[in-house]
Amino acid sequence: MPEISQDEIFDKVRQTLVDALSVEDDEVKPEATLTEDLGAESIDFLDIVFRLEKAFNIKIPQEELIPREILSNPDYVADRKLNARGLAALRSSMPHADLSEFEKDPDIDKISEVFTVSTICKFVESKLRAA
Amino acid sequence: MRWIWIDRFEEFESGRRAVAIKNVSLAEEHLHDHFPGFPLMPASLIVEGMAQTAGILVGEARNFAEKVILAKVKRATFHALARPGDQLRHEAQIEQLTDSAASTVGRVRVNGELLGEIDIVFSHIDQNISGIEFPRENFVFTREFRALLETFRGSSGKRILL
């Protein structure tokens, strides 16, 4: 992989989010959530994925960033909450995310809160390392 | 009124780029209200013209199997006004295309001069909104839209002599 530091990844991710969501530089903090703090809507995720692909010259299959299959699998979901098996599946498919808060109340409508700026940085880092 | 904001394709390279023109005319009712005494083509309709140009380009790339919906206007910057008599040239290019979405870059020119820059993200809705059933038929690409492409392929905009 080409040498790129975590700071450089953060700077590029920040610029991507500033451009995609029309937010200010200083709003893009590592702990900021994309939806709650930065105002991203689901449709913005398509845009963000395209912009990240371009900025880092990587390919991002939709399922890798947001594993919708797990969230819509009846074996994993009851009453709009993930069960233990669903959580295990989510953990293994989203190693880039910190799921500790989500696990306390695994309401699938709250999955977007898992996506912080830091989640995106870690995801990009893992893609670059695998490249 | 028909909701078609391009008149003809001038160039079409499958999966890559397309150019469509739109002639702005005082026969269009709305120009007399926008604005009385100073008719201008509304910028929102120029965006729609680009969305149609780029949307047909994206749709054709998958053989019109997908329902291509405008998800987001990433950028719409205008440098000049579009007035009656102007011929807008919508130049659209596919930047990224996946199973679920596409992004396009667009330039609008009049007489070679840049009038606007319009970049768009499209969604293939059947691949994105899980759990919602849409009608099977492709309601996005109506016969009128496909006719635009067929006209281009049939005659390439050549003069039809009598």
Say whether B74 and A62 touch across the interface (CB within 8 A): no
Q: Which amino acid is at B6?
A: I
Q: Domain holding A34: CATH number?
A: 1.10.1200.10
Tell me the CATH number of domain B8-25+34-128, given options 1.10.260.40, 2.40.50.100, 3.40.50.150, 3.10.129.10: 3.10.129.10
Are residues A33 and A56 located together in one domain of the fold?
A: yes
- Per the prediction, chain B carries an average pLDDT of 91
Say whether B130 and A44 touch across the interface (CB within 8 A): no
Q: Where are the domains of chain B?
A: 8-25+34-128
**Model confidence pLDDT, tens digit, residues B106-134:** 999 999 999 999 999 999 988 876 556 77
**Tally of domains in chain A:** 2
Q: Kindly provide the b/e burial profile for residues B63-91, where b requires at least 16 CB atoms within 10 angstroms of the residue's own CB.
A: ebebbbbbbbebebeeeeebeeebebbbb
Say whether B121 and A68 touch across the interface (CB within 8 A): no
Per-residue pLDDT at B143: 83
Cα separation, A10 vs B79, in Å, equals 33
Per-residue pLDDT at A40: 94
Q: Which two tokens stand for residue A83?
A: 């069960």
Please give the share of chain B, as a percent, with pLDDT higher than 70: 94
* Nearest Cβ partner for A47 among B98, B121, B130: B121
Per-residue pLDDT at A71: 86
- Which range of residues forms the domain containing residue A8? 1-61+115-131
Cα separation, A78 vs B143, in Å, equals 43
Are residues A46 and A71 located together in one domain of the fold?
A: no
Are residues A36 and A76 located together in one domain of the fold?
A: no
Cα separation, B142 vs B146, in Å, equals 6
**Model confidence pLDDT, tens digit, residues B39-69:** 999 999 999 999 999 999 999 999 999 999 9
From A43's Cα to the closest Cα of chain B, the distance in A is 6
* Nearest Cβ partner for A50 among B99, B103, B130: B103
Closest CA to A5 of A129, A120, A96: A129
Are residues A26 and A73 located together in one domain of the fold?
A: no
**Model confidence pLDDT, tens digit, residues B61-116:** 999 999 999 999 999 999 999 999 999 999 999 999 999 899 999 999 999 999 99
Tell me which DSSP letter residue B135 carries. Answer: -
pLDDT averages per 10-residue partition of chain A, 131 residues:
85 97 96 95 91 95 82 90 92 90 90 92 92 75
Closest CA to A124 of A20, A17, A43, A40: A17
Which residues in chain A are contacts of B99 at CB distance < 8 A?
62
Are residues A37 and A15 located together in one domain of the fold?
A: yes
Are residues A53 and A16 located together in one domain of the fold?
A: yes
